[in-house]
Chain A
Amino acid sequence: MFGNFVIPPTLLQLSLLKYLLIITLFLHLSFIGMVVSGFIFSLLYSCIAKARNSKRYEWFAKTLIDICSFNIITSIIFGIIPLFIIAYLLSCLFFETSFALDLFLQNILIFVILGFFFLHIYRQSFQIRDKSFELHIGAGLLGIILLLGGYFFFISTMNLTIDPENWVFIKKPHQLLYGWSVVWRYLEFLIISCALTGMGILISLFIRDGGAKSNELTEPYKKMVKKFGLVVPFVCAFLLPVIKFFEAVTVANISLSVTFFYYSYLLLIILTIICFLIKPMWEKSTLKYCIPVLVLFLAVWLVSIVNNHRGIETANSEHLRILTGKAEAAKKDSDNKQSKNNVSDLEELTTLGNY
């Protein structure tokens, strides 16, 4: 897909590719996750507010948008540009394979751009919510559906990287729903996103700037927000082991290794710690562990992404060896050319000297 822009990677590039892909995926998916789950909850609370005629839920829906949405520049830097970076990195990594990278960028990009556009309309239309509720909710719903659809393609394509036997068969977008492993990975993405949003709300309202924002809030509203911010991550932490187990059972066998299981044990330990940190916050109405819990959820995400990358290396070990061989051969060629040039320069100098 990148055609002539993708050169076979050099040895240095191959080792950098791995870290760059992990970092880009981590930053991009954390950002998108917060946006997606923030807007999902905002839509939900907006509908509940309309049904129950409750101002509290309406404020909360607005708070969620304000915290989880970002300006256009940030959306482009963390939302759109990483898609191109990831596509380029995958092109290098799967150079000269039948991996259908075209499916990736073509399908995701348009969904993501349109999704951000409609969510922007949803956000801006909050003021006219009372006058035109259908437009407001419709824009939000369309934006969420587009983003969810786009990121289904994304997760499915990333899942395909560890399932090389299916590359030959998957050439069209509708074929990307090709197995249960895609579903479980997608659910994992949504659940971690919800957990990050929950903690993000608490930190933004009660911790950041010494909790200045919370001083303007009423007590019942504060109670509702705290309940949301603690219950959602706690439930997510309880659901994640189920999702991870089914993911392990359905993932391509060729990508499994002993390291995969060690990372899974690490994940379970982190989730246990998260639950033990949320428990006293719930019991004693304190929020002092919010930041550690957020950091631990980000660590869960990072471990999951690193584990996936380990799966890529295991599933494609032969292809990576071919790439390394090509990189080594290219380096040898380049070194030989360099030394030949040096020798001919030396001979020329010697000849000139003699003359």
Chain B
Amino acid sequence: MEKNSKSKILLELAQKYLASIIIISYFGAFMLMFYGFQAYWTHYDQTSVPQPIAYSHYKHVTENDIPCDYCHVYADKSKHAIIPPLSTCMDCHEGDDSDSPELKKLLKYWNDKTPVPWKQIHILPKHVYFTHKRHVKAGIDCVDCHGEVRMMDTPRQVSTLTMGWCVKCHDLHGASIDCYECHK
């Protein structure tokens, strides 16, 4: 009898507050969905990636007038533009006794004879063949794909680098859109 009356009370309460329960559940579910998407984006899709040294392109390129190809020397010569070796950094920073913590990190890597474990930002799938040399020689500027890197304190990916984006650009410039060009 007691059990029946308890369940009756519960049922009455549920009926009374059913609409409120539905509203809270509905919006709560969407909060969770947004949170899930935020977590996914934070871990997999963020445009900028934390680097071992907080290298600022703005300081080096804009304030100190260092051109892109001073460091990324193979952009017009090879598939890969390359990240410069430590010796390129030490051209300017050898004997630099500034208090900058980032510079201290750089000098530590140099003294330990360990390359800086930079994290790659622009990653193409393995089945895509892309060569910097062909694009640079065709007159494509660095900013066309990488954005205004000279203004970035933290480097980030500004173009989606999807196939559709590449094909549209090829179409615009009259370049080949044959499958074999990029999927050798």
Q: Is the CB of A322 within 8 A of B151?
A: yes
CB within 8 Å for A165 and B23 given contacts A248-B34, A253-B45: no
On chain A, the residues within 8 Å of B168 by CB distance are 169
CA distance A241 to B33 in the complex (A): 10
Interface residue range, chain B: 35 or more
Which of B78-86, B97-105, B152-160, B176-184 forms contacts with chain A? B152-160
**Which A residues fall within an 8 A CB radius of B?**
164-165, 168-169, 238, 241-242, 245, 248-249, 252-254, 256, 258, 261, 264-265, 268-269, 271-272, 275-276, 279, 317-319, 321-322, 325
Q: From A245, A271, A317, name the one whose CB has the most chain B CB atoms within 10 angstroms.
A: A317
| B11-26 near A? 1/0 per residue, CB < 8 Å | 0000000011001101
On chain B, the residues within 8 Å of A269 by CB distance are 27
Q: Is the CB of A241 within 8 A of B47?
A: no
On chain B, the residues within 8 Å of A245 by CB distance are 30, 33-34, 37
Q: In the assembled complex, how far is the CB of residue A324 from the closest CB belonging to chain B, in whole angstroms?
A: 10
CA distance A269 to B30 in the complex (A): 11
Q: Is the CB of B151 within 8 A of A321?
A: yes
CB within 8 Å for A272 and B23 given contacts A164-B158, A249-B37: yes
On chain A, the residues within 8 Å of B24 by CB distance are 272
CA distance A326 to B148 in the complex (A): 15
Partner of A279, one of B19, B26, B37, B169: B19
On chain A, the residues within 8 Å of B151 by CB distance are 317-319, 321-322
Partner of A165, one of B27, B30, B158: B158
Q: Is the CB of B34 within 8 A of A264?
A: yes
| B162-178 near A? 1/0 per residue, CB < 8 Å | 00010011001000000
Q: Is the CB of A318 within 8 A of B37?
A: no
Question: Taking the complex as formed, is B118 at the interface, i.e. its CB lies under 8 A from any CB of chain A?
Answer: no
On chain B, the residues within 8 Å of A321 by CB distance are 58, 148, 151
Q: Is the CB of A241 within 8 A of B27?
A: yes
CB neighbors of A among B127-165 (8 A): 144, 147-152, 156-160, 165
Task: Give me 20 other A-B pairs in contact (C-beta within 8 A), A165-B160, A253-B45 excluded.
Answer: A164-B158, A165-B159, A168-B144, A169-B168, A169-B172, A238-B26, A241-B26, A249-B37, A252-B160, A256-B41, A256-B45, A261-B37, A265-B34, A268-B27, A268-B34, A272-B27, A279-B19, A318-B158, A321-B58, A322-B151
| B50-61 near A? 1/0 per residue, CB < 8 Å | 000000001000
Closest A residue to B149 by beta carbon equals: A318
CA distance A275 to B150 in the complex (A): 48
**Which B residues fall within an 8 A CB radius of A?**
19-20, 23-24, 26-27, 30-31, 33-35, 37-38, 41-42, 45, 47, 58, 62, 144, 147-152, 156-160, 165, 168-169, 172
Q: Is the CB of B23 within 8 A of A268?
A: no
Q: Is the CB of B165 within 8 A of A268?
A: no
Q: Is the CB of A253 within 8 A of B47?
A: yes
For the complex of A and B, 10 pairs with smallest distance between CB atoms: A318-B148, A318-B151, A241-B30, A261-B38, A272-B27, A321-B151, A165-B159, A275-B23, A169-B168, A264-B34
Closest B residue to A314 by beta carbon equals: B47
Q: From B45, B58, B147, name the one whose CB has the most chain A CB atoms within 10 angstroms.
A: B147
CB within 8 Å for A268 and B148 given contacts A275-B23, A276-B23: no
CA distance A108 to B24 in the complex (A): 40
CB within 8 Å for A258 and B38 given contacts A245-B33, A265-B31: yes
CA distance A264 to B32 in the complex (A): 11
Q: In the assembled complex, how far is the CB of residue B172 from the closest CB belonging to chain A, in whole angstroms?
A: 7
CA distance A241 to B31 in the complex (A): 9
CA distance A265 to B35 in the complex (A): 9
CA distance A276 to B27 in the complex (A): 12
Q: Is the CB of B47 within 8 A of A261?
A: no
Q: Is the CB of B47 within 8 A of A279?
A: no
Q: Is the CB of B165 within 8 A of A165?
A: yes
Q: Is the CB of A253 within 8 A of B147?
A: no
Q: Is the CB of A261 within 8 A of B34?
A: yes
CB within 8 Å for A322 and B148 given contacts A168-B172, A169-B172, A261-B38: yes
On chain B, the residues within 8 Å of A238 by CB distance are 26
Q: Is the CB of A253 within 8 A of B160?
A: yes
Q: Is the CB of A276 within 8 A of B34?
A: no
On chain A, the residues within 8 Å of B41 by CB distance are 253, 256
On chain A, the residues within 8 Å of B62 by CB distance are 325
Q: In the assembled complex, how far is the CB of residue B46 from the closest CB belonging to chain A, in whole angstroms?
A: 8
On chain B, the residues within 8 Å of A318 by CB distance are 147-152, 158
Closest B residue to A234 by beta carbon equals: B23
Give me 12 A-to-B residue pairs in the complex whose CB atoms sit less than 8 angstroms apart, sorted by A's number.
A238-B26, A241-B30, A242-B30, A245-B30, A253-B160, A256-B45, A268-B27, A268-B30, A268-B34, A275-B23, A276-B20, A318-B149
